[in-house]
Structure 1
Amino acid sequence: MNFFTLFDLPESFTLDISSLAERYQALQRRYHPDNFATQPEAERLQALHYAANINQGYQALRKPLPRAEYILSLHGFDINNEQHTMHDTEFLMAQLTLRETLEEIEQQKNNEALIGFLRDITQQHKQLMSVVEQQLAEQQWQQAADTVRKLRFFSKLADHAEALEEKWLDF
């Protein structure tokens, strides 16, 4: 099932998120399992399956990175299950350096450095998002897949840094 079709949206990285949310809510109301409680078992199971697809589709489309991954999957690139490795050694070395920097910030408990670090990686993430948006629009699937892999590195790094920030705020 194509999630863009499910939500009656064009297959595009750039989406009207409010339209997606409205269509999601309308479909959820229509196919909520409670609406089928008195129906035969086959219809109840079908409604349950459809509700699960609606939820899965919404999760795939509501945020940019999963949306890019989903679009790529429609074109034969399964980022989640593939064995393709990153061959951009310069990027990988930069990632190692960023991880080492984050470890140093953590050891020093330097909140100001952490804020600057988050600002820097957020900016790099935004730049890569612009790149992947253009690549997907131009149907440059392989290049977009490589950019999505890079975005995943930045997302994980940002998650780690944000978790560290939250940890420090709890003190």
Structure 2
Amino acid sequence: MRSFRPLTSALRAPASFSASRQSPSPSLCLLYTHQILSRPSRRQQSNFTNPSTSTATPDGRGSTPQSIPQTHFDLFPTAIPEGPPPTGHFTINIRALKREFLQLQARAHPDLHPPESKNKAQALSARINEAYKTLQNPLLRAQYLLSLRGIEIAEDETAKVDDPELLMEVLEARERIEEAENEEELAEMKVENGVRIAESVRVLERAFKEDDIESAKGEAVKLRYWINIKESLDNWERGKPVVLEH
């Protein structure tokens, strides 16, 4: 009889203009970018924002709530015009997101700005990076949306799925990965797990759209398992022990 090792309880912190045109000055680029990111929009009325919460500008100075974006979604008005759910959607056009991310970073890159503007540019660039990293990953996106509602599951040891069948499925997946002799044997598993991830994203889309936060929380926890399996499949090495953290 095979024995299963217990799953660990920690979550692994499971990416030109034509040469004939004259380019605007770096300082104007930064000002333009900051004005775009500072423009209030209807998405700030979303249930995921707190209008009474004050924030700080990229250079660390205080600011009124409407003067800078309230959420990561507000940084990308072209790619995510409707903002976060329930007004907008959980699913995102990743190509459009990346295109707008590159455009914003091109304007805010610290190397393009004079010394007096570098600190602000660095802070702005860091925020754009963090927002893109979060939004392009469905698990991080779900965790972020839940955090806006005061629910932290990334480091929550109690945020687990109380589903014996699911846990058995995860344990069997770990065993299959460990016993594989070559990557070809894992091809079917990769397809199966891709279907699981797609289904979780579909469930999360509906849950967030309906503002069903409890369902969204449960599905986000489940998605952590599928993302963990995906990472183990992507990083497979023959004979290497598999630790599926959750």
TM-score normalised according to structure 1 size = 0.81
Equivalent of residue 19 in structure 1, options 90, 96, 115:
96
Amino acid at match of 1:7: F
Amino acid at match of 2:144: Y
1:13-52 maps to which residues of 2 (within 5 A)? 13-39=90-116, 43-52=117-126
* Structure 2 residue aligned with 1:90: 165
1:14-163 maps to which residues of 2 (within 5 A)? 14-39=91-116, 43-86=117-160, 87-105=162-180, 109-163=181-235
Deviations 1:51-71 (A, max 9, x none): 100100011112322222222
Q: In structure 2, how many angstroms separate the alpha carbons of the residues matched to 1:90 and 1:60?
A: 30
Asked which structure has the greater CA Rg, the reply is: 2
Of all paired residues, the percent bearing the same amino acid is 30
In structure 1, the gaps of 5 or more residues are none
Q: Which has the higher helix share?
A: 1
User: Alignment RMSD, CA only?
Assistant: 2.1
* Structure 2 residue aligned with 1:5: 74
TM-score normalised according to structure 2 size = 0.58
Deviations 1:2-61 (A, max 9, x none): 11112223113122333322322222122211233332xxx4222211110010001111
Residues 111 and 44 of structure 1: CA distance in aligned 2, closer, same or farther (over 3 Å):
closer
Q: How many residues align?
A: 160
Residues 111 and 3 of structure 1: CA distance in aligned 2, closer, same or farther (over 3 Å):
closer
In structure 2, the gaps of 5 or more residues are 1-69, 239-246
Q: In structure 2, how many angstroms separate the alpha carbons of the residues matched to 1:71 and 1:92?
A: 25
